[in-house]
Structure 1
Amino acid sequence: GEEAVDAAGVLHAPFSDGYDEGVDPRVHDMRSFAARARAVGCETLAGVVARLAERGRPVTCVVYTFFVGWVPEVARASGIPSALFWIQPAAVFAVYYHYFHGHEAVLASCANDPDRDAVVQLPGLPPLKSRALPSVVALTSPEQRGYEVVGTLRDLFLALDDDEHRPKVLVNTLDALEPDALRAVPGFELVAVGPVVPDGSSPSTTDLSLWVSRKVAEVDGAELNGTEAGRGADGGQGIMVEWCDQVRVLSHPAVGCFVTHCGWNSALESIACGVPVVAVPQKFDQPTVAWLVEECAGVGVRAQADGEGVAERGELQRCVETVMGGGETAVEIRPCAAKWMERAREALAGGGTLERNLRAFLSGF
């Protein structure tokens, strides 16, 4: 791709990882994917850094995500400081750090314990039940699906350990939500720069039908925009969409709760909008996000999965009714949701923790 400058004046300079047309497991040898992406990426990103320096616009800091954990190598070779942008909770970062620093066996043992209330105690963190741990720590064999993520994370933390300075990690979280986790990793500087959420301005005055950019189906037996849908078995109605502006939907006063798989972005958006959550986590960081939502923030309930890891219809109904009803749990959740919405607004406001922490970070370059 070509370089481009957007409306905000930000230069977008693409670099190649050797798979410019995308990755297809049917065509590419996935055993060599990581090594090739690393080798090609290091070379082409170094070229971008060199070109910018030649133009008199030298790079002063490289910020990267864990998907490209090799980037610090390029930065070090050019004498440039780097910082990791961690897009998951600080608690997950801390769990992974301890996993790769002496606690691998105890974490794997707890995560694979048939007793879902089994507990592990890690330095700087509260006791964590097995169902609150990221799924990656349960993987113990290369034959297991998803095990390649363990290698990616191991390389990332090895690279961080090689940093001769105190590694800086920008975390998409609120300082008020994860104060202990942000300080649970010795020798690291974890900086809360969240919640990083899109602007959902003026949602209450916008009609819902402007939110959907593609196909929409109303579940009442009708056909809308070329997509067919039918009435549910119980006669209930709903709307099915392929895509929508999630923050604007969550900001609408008609939305009473959010049933979510607990991706961290979705959880933060829900918290920032003051919407209670029904958590249905599956894998990766999602179980830990569900723990943060339910037990730390107190803004939702977690659906219990069956033996196959599926939250069935009746369980989802129970959770929605628990959150939306007039019972004790709902009465406790609503003020918590309002409190955390206010905390998020304070963090996002001018002079809030997000701005202050970013300014402090940038002042070091």
Structure 2
Amino acid sequence: MPTAAIILIAASSGKTGTLLRLAKHVADKGILVTFTTTSDIGNKIISSSDVVPDDNGVQFGSGRLRFEFLDTNWDPSNVDESMHRLETVGATSFVNLIRNQSHAGRPVTYVVNNPFLPWTVDVATDLGIPCAVLWVQSCAVFSIYYHYHHGLGEFPSETNHNISVCLPGIPIMTPEEIPSFLLPSGPYKPIAKAILEQFYTIDKVSKVLVNSFTELEPGVIAAIAKYVHLIPVGPLVESDDESRSNLR
């Protein structure tokens, strides 16, 4: 059994597959990885494969990948309710999951989450566990949100809808070219709130892992490095071998 134990936690956000691919890459290096998400998404992952993982997980390369899911007793299609319940109920469930790992002889040594679950950083920090966030989009998008949250650039506002955005390492953007969540009239306010809340805890994470690579975005990676310890780990895409795997 691999000696290290890492938990990767994903929201039911449509980005779970990217974090799962990272989990498999990490396990392949000889590490025990526990992947957790909401039970509705977790059941879909398991039902789409012909693997029946036990408590010790399934073999991936030199390591193992195991699954534990956070119980959800709400409507996952209701975005507002899901985000609220994940924050209010999920935190306690996540604490219990981490403690159960320790009692089972596999104490958690690292936590990686995606931006839709910013409260997991607080949970890990309170338990003395180092953590990172996997940003599933490009470095440019991360930089845009980072600058917006910290007030490091001018963005469209209620009083000025048409302002262009100029950030280091990124070509000048019109309002139509920035993430719609940041527009005054942007949709899906709960998701935008969850993404931006991640930046309240970004100083607590040891690393920001980004689904990109240096050769693709050299300018923006160099520019944002003055603020964040950012590590490109991409592209986290499905390989031909993975597409034929019995666990996607």
* TM-score bin (small chain): 0.5 to 0.7
Match for 2:219 among 169, 172, 180?
Answer: 180
2:69 aligned to 7, 10, 14, which one? 14
Using the TM superposition, give the Cα deviation of residue 33 of structure 1 relative to its aligned residue in structure 2, in angstroms. Answer: 4.3
Compared with structure 1, are the counterparts of its residues 15 and 33 closer, same or farther at alpha carbon in structure 2 (3 Å cutoff)?
Answer: closer
Instruction: Kindly indicate whether the alpha-carbon contact (under 8 Å) linking 2:132 and 2:209 is maintained by their aligned counterparts in 1.
Output: yes
Residues 308-347 of structure 1 mapped to structure 2, 5 A cutoff: none
Match for 2:239 among 196, 199, 220? Answer: 199
Query: Does the 8 A contact of 1:49 with 1:59 survive in 2?
Result: yes
State the match for 1:67 in structure 2. 116
Render the CA deviation track for 1:269-326: whole Å, top value 9, x for unaligned. xxxxxxxxxxxxxxxxxxxxxxxxxxxxxxxxxxxxxxxxxxxxxxxxxxxxxxxxxx
Report the Cα distance in structure 2 between the residues aligned to 1:157 and 1:39, rounded to whole angstroms: 19
Letter in 2 for 1:180: G
- In 2, are the aligned partners of 1:38 and 1:70 still within 8 Å (CA)? yes
Alpha-carbon distance change, 154 to 64 in structure 1, aligned in 2, over 3 angstroms = same
What root-mean-square deviation, in Å, do the aligned CA atoms of Structure 1 and Structure 2 show? 2.8
Give the alignment partner of residue 108 of structure 1, picking from 156, 159, 166: 156
Residue 194 of structure 2 aligns with which residue? 152
Distance change >3 Å, CA 7–CA 21, structure 1 → 2:
farther
What is the aligned partner in structure 1 of residue 85 from structure 2?
36
Residue 80 to residue 3, structure 1, CA distance change in 2 (3 Å): farther
Residue 116 of structure 2 aligns to a residue whose secondary structure is helix
Where does structure 1 differ by over 4 angstroms across 4 or more consecutive aligned residues?
1-4, 30-33
Q: How does 1:252-263 map onto structure 2 within 5 Å?
A: none
Aligned residue for 2:132, secondary structure, equals strand
- Residues in 2 aligned to 1:84 and 1:198: alpha-carbon distance in whole angstroms: 20
What TM-score, normalized by structure 2, do the two folds share? 0.65
Whether the 8 Å CA contact 1:172–1:195 is kept in 2: the answer is yes
When normalised by structure 1's length, the TM-score is 0.46
Q: Distance in 2 between matches of 1:190 and 1:48?
A: 28
The question of whether the paired residues in 2 share the 8 Å contact of 1:125 and 1:184 is answered with: no
Measured at CA, do residues 135 and 67 of structure 1 come closer, stay the same or move farther in structure 2, by a change above 3 Å? same
Identity of aligned residues (%): 29
Structure with max Cα Rg: 1
Listed as ranges, the matches of 1:283-362 within 5 Å are: none
Q: Quote how far apart the aligned CAs of 1:55 are.
A: 2.1
Give SS of 1:107's match.
Answer: coil
- Structure 1 residue 49 and structure 2 residue 81: aligned? no
Q: Which amino acid aligns with 1:148?
A: P
Cα separation, partners in 2 of 1:3 and 1:183, compared to 1, 3 Å:
farther
Change (3 A) 1:11 1:32: closer
Higher relative contact order (CA 8 A, sep 6+): 2
Q: List per-residue Cα deviations over 1:68-108 (Å, max 9, x = no partner).
A: 1211111011100110001000000000000111157x222
Partner Cα separation in structure 2 for residue 127 and residue 42 of structure 1: 39
1:44 is paired with a residue whose SS is helix
1:70-89 equivalences in 2 (<5 Å): 70-89=119-138
User: Residue type matched to 1:23 in 2?
Assistant: P
- The amino acid across from 1:37 in the alignment is L
SS at match of 2:218: coil
